[in-house]
Chain A
């Protein structure tokens, strides 16, 4: 069966902490998610998202602090614009913009973290393999 690979870029101050909280609270989340800790959602240049797809990701999720709560004040607002921009580029080129997710998950939302990862994993499972699966050119 197709097991989706999902790359997560999670902010150190919120979504990464939420992942830890899910763990310590023994809330299960799918092993399909490969978390990468970043200092802020605002550090995630679209380059890293594109690269994740090239390297075989079937979906990419960026997790940041809720609007207004960014540790660096406005990183998440900038992230939101960058993701919107990336999605527009993808849309224009018929690339799977629906495999790019942006989610706000605070440090206290362990349950929301697990639920979100379930949701993204299931959606991706239905969609099937990502754009570069089996491709030898990029």
Chain B
């Protein structure tokens, strides 16, 4: 992969590369925007850790305008699906990007990743053996690039295949062999992970069913909203759930006190989580960054993805697969939803 990135830069096929890479100060690779081909040495494209979503970084790069010169971006499949959603919401563009993805073994939490590295073990090999990767990844529904990628790498095939003509040309002009994608291997791997998710989901369905259960599930929530800050789908500059319309005057507290005796603070844990599900669940790709972000270790990904798969099914919508699929809340039909009149 590094040779590919270096070649792309040296042959001027792209003018820059955006890829996870070593940082100067820590052990966890972060996205690095690279212009100097020599810096590709620091790239760690397959590092099985995801401190932030690359989708968010691509949005930062492309939201105000498309880059004038081509940029190659290395993304995990879930990051790519999130990016597809952001493009639909006009928060990012694909123009002048060369998207490189890969069949993803899964990632560790930041903490686990650091531990593995400190023990001197090889994180990629462990990830491939599914040893210690995040629960979200073990149950990943699309652990392979689905669409909108130019080039993809497969560990199993130890090689690249192309998703577009552009990708094929880039590979060929660097003299890199272009393989055929092994659909059967992908199908098998995906099936295994979906089975894992189904087990998780079964348990989750019961655990969060009913107000009492849901509130117990969320009982440690401190209302920091980190989960939405790291969510690649939550792009709003000002979060609706933090807007002053929802602030209370002191009399509200006294009213509740009179009626209920007292009130748990901070309030609005339910309000925020259930409300937010009505905003982002249709585009939730299950990447698990919400859960990684939670200081209280609440297993948010399985809660959110469980609900999301229901709302997505209700609108026959799967986020992140195709730019052609229109987000359900941005459109309507005159004749539909007869149960609501």
What residues make up the interface of A, taking CB atoms closer than 8 Å to B? Answer: 45-47, 50-51, 54, 56, 67-68, 74, 77-78, 80-86, 88-95, 102-104, 131, 134-138
Is A136 a contact of B240 with CB atoms below 8 Å? Answer: no
Whether the pair A84, B215 counts as a contact (CB closer than 8 A) is no
A123 to B208 CA separation, bound complex (whole angstroms): 27
In the complex with contacts A80-B337, A94-B211, A138-B278 CB distance below 8 A: no
Q: Please tell me if B173 contacts chain A, counting CB pairs below 8 Å.
A: no
Q: Which residues of B contact A102 (CB under 8 A)?
A: 340-341
Interface assignment of B214: CB less than 8 Å from any CB of chain A: yes
Please give me the 9 A-B residue pairs with the lowest Cβ-Cβ distance, nearest first: A77-B332, A94-B209, A137-B264, A94-B210, A46-B278, A92-B307, A138-B270, A92-B310, A88-B311
What 0/1 readout, one digit per residue, does chain B (138-168) give for beta carbons within 8 Å of chain A?
A: 0000000000000000000000000000000
How many contacting A-B pairs (Cβ < 8 A)?
114
In angstroms, how far is the closest chain A Cβ from the Cβ of B234?
15
Question: How many whole Å from A61's CB to the nearest CB in chain B?
Answer: 12
The size of the chain B interface, using a CB distance under 8 A, is 43
CB pair A80–B213 under 8 Å, yes or no, is no
Write the nearest CB–CB distance from B225 to chain A, whole angstroms: 15
Residues of A within 8 A of B337 (CB): 80-81, 84
Closest beta carbon of chain A to B198's beta carbon, Å: 16
B307 lies within 8 A of A93 (CB): yes
**B241 CB-CB contact with A under 8 Å:** yes
Residues from chain A with a CB closer than 8 A to the CB of B328 are 81, 85
Which of A81, A83, A137 is the one whose CB lies under 8 Å from B215? Answer: A137
> Smallest CB-CB separation from B336: which chain A residue?
A80
Closest to B257 in A: A136
A86 to B329, CA, bound (A): 12
Contact B332 A54 (CB under 8 A): no
Choose among B260, B281, B307, B334 the residue that contacts A135 (Cβ–Cβ < 8 A): B260
Taking the nearest CB of chain A, how far is it from the CB of B15, in angstroms? Answer: 42
Bound: A134/B271 CA distance, A? 17
Q: Is the CB of B256 within 8 A of A86?
A: no
Closest CB-CB distance, B293 to chain A, in whole Å?
21
| Contact of A82 with B278 in the complex, beta carbons under 8 Å | yes
Q: A85-B314, A92-B306, A137-B263 are in contact. List 6 more A-B contacts (CB 8 A).
A: A46-B275, A47-B240, A77-B332, A80-B336, A85-B311, A138-B269
**At the interface, yes or no: B38 with Cβ under 8 Å from chain A?**
no
Give chain B residues whose Cβ lies under 8 Å from the Cβ of A46. 275, 278
Inter-chain contacts of B264 with A (CB < 8 A) = 136-138
